[in-house]
Every structure is written in C-alpha cells, then in structure tokens.
Amino acid sequence: MRTPLELADARPGPAFTVTLDGREIEALPGQTVAAALWSAGITSWRGTRGEDRPRGVFCGIGVCFDCLVTLNDRPNQRACLAPLHPGDAIRTQRGTGHDD
C-alpha cells in the first residue's frame, strides 16, 4: 500500500525534530502540529475542562477548537492550523491552557 506522500508524489524537504511533552517527534516541512502528531500515531493531545476527556482533531479546519495545544509556551493554538518549525515545543493542553 502506498503512503499519502507517495500517492501525491510529494517531495518535502528534510525532516526535522519537534517535541511533544519532551518526547521527540519527526515533522516534515509544511506540516501542521496535527499532521505531525497524527503521523507519529498520536491522536489525542488535549484534555477538556472539568473531566479531562481526551481530544484531538475533529473538524480539521480550525472551527471547532478541539485540537488546542500549547505551542512554544503559547496556549490555545489550533493544532490543525499551526505550522511547525524546527525545534518547536508542543505541550499537551489541559483545560483552558492557563494556570487555573
């Protein structure tokens, strides 16, 4: 079975490293946070307020806010829209993402 990169005949630049909660994740140029996390097999990276229920990508277009992460110490970044850069630090977000 061919991968999406093979099917699209995509030739991205060299991979680079980012971290999720200190764990190294490989990303490709042009990938969003959500795309890189999905590629690494990670489907949930936020817990809801109150009950801390797992969330990840739902709509994938920035409307629903289910995919929020803390990116480079900035909470409430939509993982489906945020592009990655070498060395970015992603943190799992709990609740509002602020110290409450």
Quick check: is 51 in a domain?
yes
Quick check: is 78 in a domain?
yes
| Strand ranges in the chain using DSSP code E only, listed in sequence order | 16-20, 23-27, 46-47, 54-55, 68-71, 74-78, 89-91, 93-94
Reading the chain (100 residues) residue by residue, the pLDDT tens digits are 887 778 777 788 899 999 999 999 999 999 999 999 999 999 999 988 888 899 999 998 999 899 999 999 999 999 999 999 999 999 999 877 776 5
Q: Which two tokens stand for residue 85?
A: 């850069």
CB atoms within 10 A of CB 66: 18
Quick check: is 4 in a domain?
no
Quick check: is 75 in a domain?
yes
Q: Which two tokens stand for residue 9?
A: 């005949």
Burial class (CB in 10 A: 0-12, 13-18, 19+), 75: middle
Quick check: is 74 in a domain?
yes
Q: Which two tokens stand for residue 70?
A: 């803390």
Quick check: is 54 in a domain?
yes
Q: What is the pLDDT of residue 42?
A: 96
**CATH at residue 61:** 3.10.20.440
Host domain of residue 22 = 15-94
Residue 32 identity = T
Quick check: is 84 in a domain?
yes
Quick check: is 2 in a domain?
no
Instruction: Enter the pTM of the model.
Output: 0.85
- How many domains are contained in the chain? 1
